[in-house]
């Protein structure tokens, strides 16, 4: 099986235009493309997202390219931003900066050994399975703290308990449509 690379390049599009027009280009891993809607800020991008929501629409997400190394993703992102242009230079993207493709290789600081990504993904599948079992065994739902505490996923590094790993796993399961969050902020397994 060929090695999977975790990076992808995505566009956020405004559905109020026909056809939907990109207003932001980014690169990321995991849920990055979908995080913008859950963490709306007061940036130009955030204002567009807020306007889309106020109009009764949802931001459209398009993965343009996936299975990329970080360097490949950065180069494609830079080329697309350059092609569409950013608002402050007469373009229509709300990206704050226009990356320079010539300096991308200097930004890459992590070497990923062969097989490392695949082992992490195998471990992720096991953890997702354990979280799903816990959620199914508790029909009224579980909190992020429950998942972290009862599955031994908490870190007490630097004092206090940190539940970031279980929060990420729950987020992945929500994106996969296997769990939903209730109004009471409990995570409930979807029945199949």
For the stretch 157-165, contacts whose Cβ atoms lie closer than 8 Å and that sit 24 or more positions apart, written own/partner, are: 165/127
Query: Whole-structure pTM over 0.75, yes or no?
Result: no
State the greatest distance between any 2 C-alpha atoms of the chain, in Å, as a whole number: 55
Tokens of 3: 């090695």
Q: How far apart are CA 137 and CA 131, in angstroms?
A: 10
Give me the percent of the chain exceeding a pLDDT of 70.
88
What contacts 56, CB < 8 A, 6 or more positions away? none
pLDDT tens for each residue of 111-138: 666 777 778 888 889 999 999 999 999 9
Model confidence at 3: pLDDT above 60: no
Q: Is residue 1 part of a domain?
A: no
pLDDT tens for each residue of 89-113: 888 899 988 776 666 666 666 666 6
- Write the burial class of residue 151 (CB in 10 Å: 0-12 exposed, 13-18 middle, 19+ buried): middle
Q: What is the mean pLDDT of the chain?
A: 85
Residues 58 and 140 in one domain: no
Tokens of 77: 């992102």
Q: How far apart are CA 52 and CA 49, in angstroms?
A: 5
pLDDT tens for each residue of 125-180: 999 999 999 999 999 999 988 998 899 888 776 666 677 788 788 888 888 888 88
Q: What is the pLDDT of residue 1?
A: 43
Q: Is residue 25 part of a domain?
A: yes
Residues 102 and 129 in one domain: no
Q: Is residue 2 part of a domain?
A: no
Identify which has the larger pLDDT, 7 or 105.
7
Which CATH number goes with the domain that contains 167? 1.10.10
Domain limit, last residue, from 61, 78, 107 = 107
CA distances from 98 to 9, 38, 54, 89, 178 (A): 15, 24, 28, 9, 37
Q: How far apart are CA 51 and CA 64, in angstroms?
A: 24
């Amino acid at each position: 099986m060929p090695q999977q690379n975790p990076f992808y390049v995505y566009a956020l599009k405004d559905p109020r235009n026909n056809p939907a027009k990109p207003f932001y280009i980014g690169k990321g891993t995991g849920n990055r493309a979908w995080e913008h809607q859950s963490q709306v800020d007061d940036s130009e991008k955030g204002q567009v997202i807020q306007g889309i929501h106020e109009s009764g629409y949802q931001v459209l997400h398009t993965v343009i390219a996936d299975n990329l190394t970080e360097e490949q993703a950065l180069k494609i992102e830079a080329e697309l931003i350059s092609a569409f242009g950013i608002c402050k230079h007469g373009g229509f993207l709300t990206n704050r900066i226009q990356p320079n493709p010539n300096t991308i290789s200097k930004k890459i600081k992590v070497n990923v050994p062969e097989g490392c990504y695949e082992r992490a993904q195998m471990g992720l599948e096991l953890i997702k399975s354990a979280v799903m079992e816990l959620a199914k065994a508790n029909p009224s739902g579980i909190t992020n703290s429950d998942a972290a505490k009862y599955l031994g996923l908490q870190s007490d590094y630097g004092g206090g308990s940190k539940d970031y790993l279980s929060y990420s796993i729950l987020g992945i399961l929500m994106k996969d449509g296997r769990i939903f969050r209730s109004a009471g902020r409990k995570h409930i397994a979807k029945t199949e």
